[in-house]
Amino acid sequence: MYQKRRELLAASLPENALLFVLSGKAPYSVGDEQYPFSVDRHFYYLTGLDRENMMYVLVKKKGKAQHMLVIERYDEAMAKWVGGRILPEKARQISGIEQIVMEDEKWQRIHFLMQYVLDALPSVPVYLDLKKQEVDQKRESHLFLEELMKKYPNIQIHDASSYLTKLRLVKDEFEVNQLKKAISVTNKAIQNMMSHVKPEMGENELEAYFDFVLKCHNCKHSFPSIVGSGKNGTILHYGDNNQVMKDNTLVLCDLGASYEYYNADITRTFPVNGKFSERQKQIYSIVLEANEYIMSLVKPGETLRGLNMKLIEFYEKKLDEIGLLNNGKTVSDYYWHGVSHMLGLETHDVSLSDYKLEEGNVFTIEPGLYLEDEEIGIRIEDNVLVTKDGCINLSKDIIKSVEDIEAFMADRNE
């Protein structure tokens, strides 16, 4: 599988190329602590490995590709403290890359590859992921590039990110299955929340019912959970989750399980006491209809921006019907974010500008409506897979109709 991805990448690169993808390094924190390490997702996608200080190298020349992996030398003294670095055999077995080079022999090998690609060329085309430069592992690519330029001033530098992004946008069968697992755990965890929620409970306590299920399934969080009741549900990135949930309010839960780096991103909104009020039901029904309407429009060729425009048109009509657009109010007073983003190894997964949907994309559909004055915040978010003429809702098993939610919550007391 990883081999297939590397072959696809090699095929998409121009003739004569030397590409480097780094796994990254945890930034220093304080004392002898490090920030938690999170592997570079391009690296993981191409190798299945998730350790620090590794590098994948691809050489393409005369239509032929060679692959190489640089890893740290195993050190027994170090292993006693932090556990073993990965052994060459294990790295080879997971990634399927035959050629493994030790970190301390890396420059010798790179020098050889430079000469090999250079042969008859004025300079060596070097490809690196240079898209982001932040306080995260992406910086490693830039540091490596600086080192490379010192040693080889005559290279041509190219950004490899669009080549990698194009591949990652279309999910293979394995990836779809990983996402399904993450979504299934998220479903169980949301059910656990719905089973236990009640008035006067803290948002943090409700959040703990989600966390417990994730931990039991060896999952992590895709992102910090949002558990916002009443007015807190109208704050887009509310994350305090520390208020007491009042009777007759709704609680908006935007959260997801991450399974082996594949991220679910789901939002469900439900009544704290198990029953929607008439007004809550009215607003909720519009958001649910919006969710299903946008889902029905998905097909190859559409864009996420286009879907969002359709949603705004839909809201213009619906909100006008119930009198919310009087006194100069517009849709943007009640809805101001995008309806979708790509999903995968990152929660806001890689994409290209004005990208037209293709079969195999996975993305979110998450319309919301936020009525601050009425303390009603509602969002309903699903994760869908684009097919050749529509889409499949990967999170269809996570209940969302008023009837299903009320029935589920009524049942729990019996």
Shortest distance (Å) from residue 367 CB to Mn ion? 11
Distance (Å, rounded) from C-alpha 191 to C-alpha 214?
12
Shortest distance (Å) from residue 336 CB to Mn ion? 15
Window 51-90: contact mask with Mn ion (x via CB under 5 A): ----------------------------------------
Nearer to Mn ion, 10 or 365 (CB): 365
Shortest distance (Å) from residue 132 CB to Mn ion? 20
Shortest distance (Å) from residue 239 CB to Mn ion? 14
Residue 177: helix, strand or coil by DSSP?
helix
The phi, psi pair for 107, rounded to 5°, reads -70, -35
Instruction: Tell me which H or E stretch contains 227.
Output: strand 226-229
Segment contacting Mn ion (CB under 5 A): 105-113, 331-339, 358-366, 394-402? 358-366
Distance (Å, rounded) from C-alpha 305 to C-alpha 367?
13
Nearer to Mn ion, 95 or 383 (CB): 383
Instruction: Tell me which H or E stretch contains 294.
Output: helix 278-297
Q: Kindly determine how many residues on this chain lie close enough to bind Mn ion according to the rule CB under 5 A.
A: 2
Place of tokens 């990152």: 346
Segment contacting Mn ion (CB under 5 A): 31-39, 82-90, 211-219, 361-369? 361-369
Using CB under 5 A as the binding rule, whether residue 364 contacts Mn ion is answered as yes
Nearer to Mn ion, 265 or 349 (CB): 265
With CB under 5 A as the contact rule, the residue among 140, 175, 265, 382 that binds Mn ion is 265
Using CB under 5 A as the binding rule, whether residue 349 contacts Mn ion is answered as no
Distance (Å, rounded) from C-alpha 185 to C-alpha 266?
11
Q: What is the CA radius of gyration of the chain?
A: 24
Nearer to Mn ion, 186 or 364 (CB): 364
Segment contacting Mn ion (CB under 5 A): 61-69, 95-103, 143-151, 262-270? 262-270
Segment contacting Mn ion (CB under 5 A): 48-56, 107-115, 289-297, 360-368? 360-368
Residue 88 burial (CB < 10 Å; 0-12/13-18/19+)? middle
DSSP labels, 250-283: EEEEEE-EEETTEE--EEEEEETTS---HHHHHH
Segment contacting Mn ion (CB under 5 A): 129-137, 313-321, 357-365, 406-414? 357-365
**Contact between 12 and 166 (Cβ < 8 Å):** yes
Distance (Å, rounded) from C-alpha 104 to C-alpha 11?
30
Shortest distance (Å) from residue 364 CB to Mn ion? 4
List residues binding Mn ion (CB under 5 A).
265, 364
